[in-house]
Amino acid sequence: MQVHTLQTQHIRKEYPGTIALDDVSVTFEGGKIHGLVGKNGAGKSTLIKILAGTVQPTSGSILLDGREIFLRSAQDAFHQGVATVYQELSLVPSLTVAENILLGRWPQRGLTPISGRLEIGCLSPLRGMLVDWPAVWTRAQAVLDSMHVALDVRRQVGDLGVAQQQIVEIAKAMSFNPSVLMLDEPTSALAQHETENLFQLLRKLAGQGVAIVYITHRLQELPRVADKIMVLRDGRYAGTLEMGQARPEDIVRLMFGEVVQKERPVDLQVGAGTVLEVRQLGRHGKFHGISFELHEGEILGIAGMLGSGRTELLRAIFGADPFDEGEILVAGRSLRRTSPEQMKMLGVAFTPEERKQQALVQSLSIRANLCMSSMNRIARYGVLTRIRERASIRGLVEELAIRIPDLEMPVSSLSGGNQQKVVVGKWLSTQPKVILLDEPTRGIDVQAKQQVFQILWDLSRRGIGSLVVSSELEELLEVCHRVLIMKKGALAGEVRPHELPADELYVRCMEA
């Protein structure tokens, strides 16, 4: 059995305004499963993308079995023996297990005369040649046999459950005979017994000498699958722990370091009036029994791990997705069905997590994006002019400190922090009473984060209620009056910022 080792030496990755990875040197040993952890923004995804060949490092080197390798594309990584299985599966549901495992590499053959006639085959949609189907079935079956997996290679992938599709995705990666297998949050959609089956499979693969990198936010999984735990914090390598000697509090301490918790301004007062109330809200398979109140000027946070239902809850409240049970009250008005248009009319605004795809039109100007949600208010007798648009948003640009040389520049030319301020600004122009914010500081630098916090505090002073979802738990404790904890689609508690530090909140958010 050949044992492989993957190393990074002094890896650095810079983006405009931020350093995603700073001097990261780690070693992933063959025959072992390495749990790679770190809070949101720690650099895990960037490191994996570099090792997967989809992102290029600013500096540093990658070594496989002591030999430097260059990964300029995903195809490069596969050919060098580094395979990645992402959280979002990349299977074709209408194709069979075998076809997916060997996708893009189906064995082919030419036309062979048989008794004066051509052998009848199936034309490959990829290259217009005949596919050697017996070879497809045989090679795919050999991959599954090497993994000790019993799965019908001729079965259509769309008919499989999520756990079996996950196995097909891993088999596709293993068909390249990799030295290193990286998995990003592989259990996020799996049931308990399916998770355990996956762990058994990973242990078998590690037993064959493969170096396995297992990325997860679920620390309670690590004792059941990992041999070592490697921690990234704020773009730097924080340390490695042997699983047998690691306590949860040791892991969390490495993830967070010494956190100095800041306090929100003392003049932010919560009013007596309720601007938003949710009663027993539920959506099948996403969340259930959610009840809370949001008051005038209150900043209410929602903390929870990936898959806890945070984003789905915000989208349902705004009407972007439906809910099956319960009701929403806006300023005392009961709603059992909602839509974005209705919520906007009632004074509710929503800034989604994916601002570039869901909140902004990248090809349009900054002016057009800022006016997008308030065109009816800006227009006069149904006529919208550029002069009226510019006049209506001039104060917003100054208030939000959006740094722009020209309002007519495309919004895509702005930094992440300024784009986020445009998203907030376009909703402020509607004069909302409630604003829902999903990951408002994701992907922006430290200075821009502080500016977003200041915006939230200014909204609070004006009596606007804010409901904030964030993976940055220390930020929630810094900004919010209260923080609700979500686990497995339900509310599991409420904390006040002065009651506990960020690392303890993280432990409370972990799924049982």
Q: What is the pLDDT of residues 348-357, one digit of tens each?
A: 999 888 777 7
pLDDT of residue 88: 73
Q: Which has the higher per-residue pLDDT, 176 or 249?
A: 176
Q: How far apart are CA 61 and CA 70, in angstroms?
A: 8
Mean pLDDT of the chain: 84
pLDDT higher than 80, residue 259: no
As a whole number, mean pLDDT of residues 249-270 equals 77
pLDDT higher than 90, residue 22: yes
pLDDT of residue 19: 87
pLDDT of residue 258: 67
Q: Which domains does the chain have, with CATH numbers?
A: 5-81+178-256 (3.40.50.300), 261-347+462-512 (3.40.50.300)
pLDDT higher than 50, residue 296: yes
pLDDT higher than 80, residue 124: no
> Is 421:452 a contact under the CB 8 Å cutoff?
yes
How confident is residue 381, by pLDDT bands cut at 50, 70 and 90? low
Q: Which has the higher per-residue pLDDT, 303 or 252?
A: 303
pLDDT of residue 117: 40
> Which has the minimum average pLDDT: 137-146, 155-164, 171-180, 420-429?
420-429
Written as one string, the DSSP assignment of 110-127 is: ---EETTEEPP-EE-TTT
Q: What are phi and psi of 506, to 5 degrees?
A: -60, -45
Q: Which has the higher per-residue pLDDT, 322 or 381?
A: 322
> pTM for the complete prediction?
0.63
**Who's near 28: CB < 8 A, 6+ residues apart?**
5, 6, 7, 34, 180, 211, 212, 213
pLDDT of residue 269: 87
Return the amino acid letter for 455.
I
pLDDT of residue 360: 83
pLDDT of residue 42: 83
Per-residue model confidence as pLDDT tens digits over 402-420: 777 677 888 888 777 788 8
As a whole number, mean pLDDT of residues 233-261 equals 83
Per-residue model confidence as pLDDT tens digits over 77-86: 988 989 998 8
Q: Which has the higher per-residue pLDDT, 380 or 371?
A: 371
**Who's near 424: CB < 8 A, 6+ residues apart?**
351, 400, 435, 437, 440, 452, 455
Parallel, antiparallel, or unpaired: how do β-strands 117-118 and 33-37 relate?
unpaired
Q: How far apart are CA 39 and CA 187, in angstroms?
A: 17
What does the block give as tokens for 310?
């945070």
Return the amino acid letter for 136.
V
> Which has the minimum average pLDDT: 24-28, 377-381, 425-429, 500-504?
377-381
pLDDT of residue 386: 66
Q: Which of 46-55, 193-202, 423-432, 499-508 has the highest mean pLDDT?
A: 46-55
How confident is residue 194, by pLDDT bands cut at 50, 70 and 90? confident
Q: What are phi and psi of 144, to 5 degrees?
A: -65, -40
How confident is residue 284, by pLDDT bands cut at 50, 70 and 90? very high
Q: How many residues does the chain have?
A: 512
Coil, helix or strand at residue 192: helix
